[in-house]
Structure 1
Amino acid sequence: MEPMISTGADALYMNERDHVATALREIAAGETITYRNAAGLRQVTALNDIPFGHKIAIAGVETGADIRKYGEVIGRAESPIAAGQHVHVHNIEGIRGRGDLGAKETK
């Protein structure tokens, strides 16, 4: 049997500028989960089912706002995202590796 790593948390949170935490297990809608930041253990209630390894919002994000994970911008909100909501391709636009951002439109 492999040893378990005890984190005291249900989601991984890495940087004080982050809007999301990463689920360390399957999380059911309505469940209150715990993550740890610099101030200690914090909680948020999941508004949706969150699969293992997916992101959960720990703060509300407005449409068009950048979303940070591990201190880096990973995308832009396509709609308002509430704390506790599943954050994935259905509500964020990825911006990494895109050649069209900032490019002039040609017709």
Structure 2
Amino acid sequence: MAALVAVLIDPKDNVAVVLDSVKEGQEVFCRNGAIQLSIKAKSDVPRYHKISVCKIGKGDAIVKYGEHIGVAAEEIEAGVHVHLQNVQSRREAL
């Protein structure tokens, strides 16, 4: 299987956006400037969706583009598709 690329927008992000559909077992390379890492997909991830780049504990913030976009509804292992099935909305004071 070919390696795929995902984009980390902010160094604080714990999810990256995949630039093509990912199949379970594929290696995904994430980068943001000097930050580069490789993770093995533990689930299929549709194009332009989020993949976790590290373990995210239940109740922990999901961070994309340097902003909290919700909280983990369950523990999320690195390499897992992050979407409605494992994220809860959380409104924060603006």
TM exceeding 0.5: yes
Return closer, same or farther for 1:75/1:32 CA change in 2, 3 Å cut-off: same
Higher relative contact order (CA 8 A, sep 6+): 2
Alignment of structure 1 residues 14-25 onto 2, 5 Å:
14-25=9-20
Which residues of structure 2 form unaligned runs of 5+?
none
Letter in 2 for 1:87: V
Residue from 64, 69, 80 that aligns with 1:85: 80
Runs of 4+ residues over 6 Å off in structure 1: none
Residue from 21, 24, 33 that aligns with 2:28: 33
Aligned identity (percent) is 36
Letter in 1 for 2:85: H
Deviations, residues 9-44 of structure 1 (Å, cap 9, x unaligned): 611111111000001001010001111134343100
User: Which protein is richer in strand relative to its size?
Assistant: 2
User: What's the TM-score, normalizing by structure 2?
Assistant: 0.88
Distance 1:79 1:72 in 2: 19
Distance 2:79 2:37 in 1: 12
Q: Which has the larger radius of gyration?
A: 1
Which residues of structure 1 form unaligned runs of 5+?
1-8, 103-107
Residue-pair matches, total = 90
Does the Cα contact within 8 Å between 2:62 and 2:68 map onto a contact in 1? yes
Q: RMSD of the TM alignment (CA)? A: 1.7
